[in-house]
Chain A
Amino acid sequence: MTRSYLTRVALSALAAGALLSATACGVGGGGGEVKEAERTGKVAGEITFRTLQLKPVFTTYVQGVIDAFERKYPDVEVRWEDVPGDGYNEKLVADAQAGALPDVVNLSTDSFQLLGDRGMLADVAKLDGQVARDYVPGAWEQFRLPGKGEGVYAYPWYVTPEILTYNKVLFAKAGLDPAKPPTSVEEFFDYAERIAAGSDGQYAAFMADPKGRLPGDWQKMGIPILNGQGDAFTFDTDNAVKWVERMKDLYAKGAMPKESLLKSDDINQLYGGGKLVFGPGSPGFVKDIKQNAPEVYANTQVAGAVTGKLGHIGIYAQSLGIKKDTKHLDAATEFAKWVTNGPNQVEFSKKATIYPSNANGLADPYFSDRGDGKDAETVARAVGAGQLKTAALDANTPVQWTNQVGDAVVREMQKAIKGEQDPATAVRKAQEEANKLLAKTARR
């Protein structure tokens, strides 16, 4: 062995050691408590505002809101950054780790949960207790965090409610009355069975993808998803097994497109092509169909979402969180309130198929006008807004139902619906897997 060889080995070991120690530093971080900012009463300073995929379609609207705010508070400068939907959450995670969150940030339900849980968001109820009454109660309540008392950790922004859309011609073909849409999951399945029986394989009733149906279907059937403490899944019940049996039977009978068991991203194409009776449950979809498939749009009917035993829908609001240790808390707070106030939300809702979470905004006549009751888009707006008024949190996906839990449950359901696994075993295994994942999250 030569001396130069030894030197090389030693140098490599040294370099590796240096890298190891450096990377190890990164592994241990991330758990520290973020220091809370305090209000000074002076609305001033430069703040950053991050939105989720609003450019370029809504550039004029958002910039208008910002400009008006800056005119009202001349000492504030708002720097707006818009991030595309793909990788939005990943970027948030990276920024949170680097301590570089924007002062005011657009959050979805899961990113809110994540940042809120780790104490990275300011308690907006504490900042301004009076503001609560401006919002729809269901929306305001949504931004509390389990185990964190009465705090509310984001301002509710825009909302998209669940509705029911269906092709009334295909509905009538199956001998169903378009004026009597299903109201429970069980009834929905009965309707699907009748549609499949009369379709001769030309069209299907709905998409099989269990990811899109769970846990909503189970909640609407009155199946307890979690125990009272929220620390264990309890959906392994006879009713859940019945749900799987029904799905399996309907899948075999052709009530759902075969490939939709794995994914449902072609739902708009299928519905627009007249190959599906029940379309996606969002008002935005009705607008898409109007533009892309006018013939099918003319046959589209809108009704309130299937709510089953709950009797109401859930509420999933986009929100604006405030970075807990922002340097300009007053400016950030005033700005978030400004963006989510009634007039600004109503104006936004008129430009996109969304709804205000602001109670004053939702009371605007624009949202209760059904027109002549024949135009699906107008009816969808009124139906959606009507449902939002009574929306409540118990219809929401529980935060414990993470993506990983959802995936684990979906995998077992897919096997059962395809007939590769007994429904009772599938539900039991799904619950075991879900509880294992939950325990793993709770352990830390």
Chain B
Amino acid sequence: MTPAPAGPARKAARRATETETGLVHRNWWTPYLFLAPGLVMVALFSLWPFVNTVVLSLTDAQILRGGGFVGLDNYTRAFADPDFWVATGNSVLYLVVVVPCLVLLPLALAVLVQAKIPGIGFFRSAFYTPVIASAVVVGLIWQWVLRSDGLVNTVFQKLRIVSEPVPFLTDSTMLLVSAMIVTVWKGLGYYMVFYLAALGNVSVSLHEAAAIDGAGALRRFFSITIPQVKPMMLLVGTLSAISALRVFTEIYILGGESGGPGGGARTLPFLIRQVGLGFAGETGYASAVSILLFLLTLVFSLLGRRLSKGDES
């Protein structure tokens, strides 16, 4: 048992308790004060623009003209607009192709560069370089590689694999494929880092035990490594799905302002920019398409969440 403090020490202890209780009981708003800067930022830069977009999507506002309320007209127009469906199809196709690539390839790459051998740091950095390269530079490099008189076509023609140049950049479908290649190439290093972190947590003893039991490298990869990095795979899947739905730069740089010949390679963000920008930009309609893109992203995110929940159970 500790003896009770006497004299000035007791007074000081009582004061401290009072202050503490005072904080809890009197200044109930103190925690909110700490939260306020963050909350204000979120409200100002995320919540407000979002709510404003919803409001705008119900108007026929243009860049310099205030709009009147038009109900769901913009949404009806989007559903009847062939351009909207082409863009939605391209966005979903982009997601369907790019996400599996970005979930699996970086994992394979991470396994390769995980090995602790001399000089591996160079390869890790090399694979990460595309991530830090500017989108414009990346776009220019790939343009030179893929144009009709570019590197790939010249090699293909010299080796007599093709007689005519492959229209990587001048055919809508090929342009989409080219943009997907660039996205995957640029994303490899980024998600590789995620997987390297996850692989660091994979239990070594499990691997050793399985090896003693006679499991080969492939078997150990599928039965031990994959189950342990699965949560990371789901996270990478969700993140890459969201960025795949937002793809714009690759198509813009490779396919020009029109989004491929006849606009055939336009994705939803591309369409939003096209209808919303410029002095005759239709802010109302662009907002409606943005909201539809948001809903599409939400659906895929929820799908990812559901997958991860099912996995946990």
A interface residues (Cβ-Cβ under 8 A, vs B) = 15-16, 19-20, 23-24, 26-31, 89, 93, 96-97, 110-111, 113-114, 118, 211, 257-259, 261-263, 402-404, 407, 410-412, 414-415, 418, 420-421, 437, 440-441, 444
Contacts and interface: CB of A to CB of B under 8 A. Distances in A.
Contact of A23 (B52, B170, B260): B52
A366 to B, nearest CB: 36
A23 B261 contact: no
A402 B278 CA distance: 9
B48 A441 contact: no
B258 A262 contact: yes
A31 B48 contact: no
Interface size class of B (residues with CB under 8 A): 35 or more
B261 A261 contact: yes
Interface of B: 43, 47-48, 51-52, 55-56, 59-67, 143, 147-149, 165, 167, 169-170, 255-258, 260-264, 274-275, 277-282
A23 B48 CA distance: 8
A281 to B, nearest CB: 20
B73 to A, nearest CB: 12
A262 B47 contact: no
19 contacts: A26-B52, A27-B59, A31-B65, A113-B279, A118-B64, A211-B258, A257-B149, A258-B148, A259-B169, A261-B261, A262-B261, A402-B278, A404-B274, A404-B278, A407-B263, A414-B261, A415-B261, A444-B60, A444-B65
A412 B83 CA distance: 13
Nearest to A421: B262
Contacts of A418: 170, 261-262
A411 B165 contact: no
A118 B279 CA distance: 12
Contacts of B149: 257
A410 B169 contact: no
A407 B274 contact: yes
Contacts of A19: 43, 47-48, 51-52
B51 A16 contact: yes
A262 B258 CA distance: 7
Contacts of A402: 278-280
B38 to A, nearest CB: 15
Nearest to A258: B148
The 6 residue pairs across chains A and B that have the minimum distance between CB atoms: A263-B256, A262-B256, A415-B262, A23-B52, A403-B278, A258-B148
- Provide the main secondary structure of the chain A interface: helix
Contacts of A29: 66
Nearest to A262: B256
Contacts of B47: 19
B102 to A, nearest CB: 26
A401 to B, nearest CB: 11
A27 B169 contact: no
A89 B281 CA distance: 12
A344 B233 CA distance: 65
B65 A211 contact: no
A258 B55 CA distance: 43
Contacts of B64: 30, 93, 96-97, 114, 118
Nearest to B83: A411
A193 to B, nearest CB: 20
A30 B170 contact: no
A13 to B, nearest CB: 12
B51 A403 contact: no
A27 B66 contact: yes
A16 B50 CA distance: 11
A24 B66 CA distance: 10
Given A96-B64, A259-B148, A404-B278, A20 B258 contact: no
Contacts of B281: 404
Contacts of A407: 257-258, 263, 274
A120 to B, nearest CB: 9
Contacts of A93: 63-64, 279
Given A19-B47, A23-B51, A403-B278, A30 B65 contact: yes
Contact of A410 (B62, B63, B143, B258): B258
B55 A20 contact: yes
A161 B256 CA distance: 26
B56 A27 contact: yes
B55 A27 contact: yes
Nearest to A416: B262
Contacts of A26: 52, 66
A420 B257 contact: no
Nearest to A403: B278
Contacts of A24: 55
Given A93-B279, A259-B147, A407-B258, 17 more contacts: A19-B43, A20-B51, A26-B52, A27-B66, A29-B66, A31-B66, A96-B64, A114-B279, A118-B64, A258-B170, A262-B261, A402-B279, A407-B257, A411-B263, A414-B262, A415-B261, A418-B262
Contacts of A420: 261-262
A263 to B, nearest CB: 4
A404 B148 CA distance: 29
Contacts of A23: 48, 51-52, 55
Nearest to A410: B258
A437 B81 CA distance: 14
Nearest to A17: B51
- Which residue among A15, A19, A23, A262 has the maximum number of chain B CB atoms within 10 Å of its CB? A262
Contacts of A257: 148-149
Contacts of B62: 444
Contact of B279 (A89, A411, A437): A89
A111 to B, nearest CB: 8
Contact of A259 (B52, B65, B67, B170): B170
A440 B65 CA distance: 13
A262 B147 CA distance: 12
Given A23-B55, A418-B170, A263 B66 contact: no
Contacts of A211: 257-258
Nearest to A417: B261
Nearest to B284: A27
Contacts of A412: 262
Most chain A Cβ neighbours within 10 Å, of B59, B258, B260? B258
A270 to B, nearest CB: 10
Nearest to B65: A30
